Chains A and B, each alone.
Chain A
């Protein structure tokens, strides 16, 4: 791969994404992932009938999804999803490492997330419904979608000059 052809025009492409400072991206990633996972727990624990708890859970899910969408549109997602020739070799290395961590998260989420929900349903005598499974899949989808960008944001270091 020739670097001469790799990142030329990079600035123009990056400008079409939301430029977030590392600090803001870190906060956004915590909000997105935190709210999505909190929604998973709340929707499982709370009863399906209308209650203030359910309303709060819905608000938490909305905040989580909105934060995830913003995270998906920021420059860290550009690095996470751009073709190889659009980013430089360091970004490519970091991206590979980020995707490896994201894969680990997905494996843990599938294995232990699903397992712990099944165990919790037995302990709490709460049936694990298809609605719970849909919520679980939604959380898994959104969080794995933004996970590489979140990892990149947490590992980012600002340009000094």
Chain B
């Protein structure tokens, strides 16, 4: 199973599932399936999401569960460390 942060990035960008679906050219339901983790995307689709959000694909998809964002924020003390995602 592939874990992802599509919901997190989508919410941050203020996009609805339908808007994101149109941008990556899939059915809106597919976004729901991906966010629930019930479907693993192809490499092509994963790269499209990464390009859409402007991040590396590793930041968006992982074979291991992502640590909770609160935990990650807690470990960062220097604000100049950059992107927390």
Contacts and interface: CB of A to CB of B under 8 A. Distances in A.
A, B from the same assembly: yes
Interface of A: 2-4, 6-8, 10, 87-91, 93, 156-161
B17 A161 contact: yes
Interface in B16-62: 16-18, 24-30, 32-33, 36, 38-39, 41-42, 44-45, 48
A91 B30 contact: yes
Nearest to B33: A90
Interface string B55-75: 000000000000000000000
Contacts, number: 50
Interface residues of B, number: 20
Interface of B: 16-18, 24-30, 32-33, 36, 38-39, 41-42, 44-45, 48
Given A3-B24, A90-B39, A159 B45 contact: no
26 contacts: A2-B44, A3-B25, A3-B26, A3-B44, A7-B26, A10-B27, A88-B25, A88-B26, A89-B42, A90-B26, A90-B29, A90-B33, A90-B39, A91-B27, A91-B30, A93-B39, A156-B29, A157-B29, A157-B32, A157-B33, A157-B36, A158-B29, A159-B29, A159-B32, A160-B32, A161-B17
Chain B interface, >50% SS class: helix
A117 to B, nearest CB: 39
Nearest to A88: B26
A159 B32 CA distance: 6
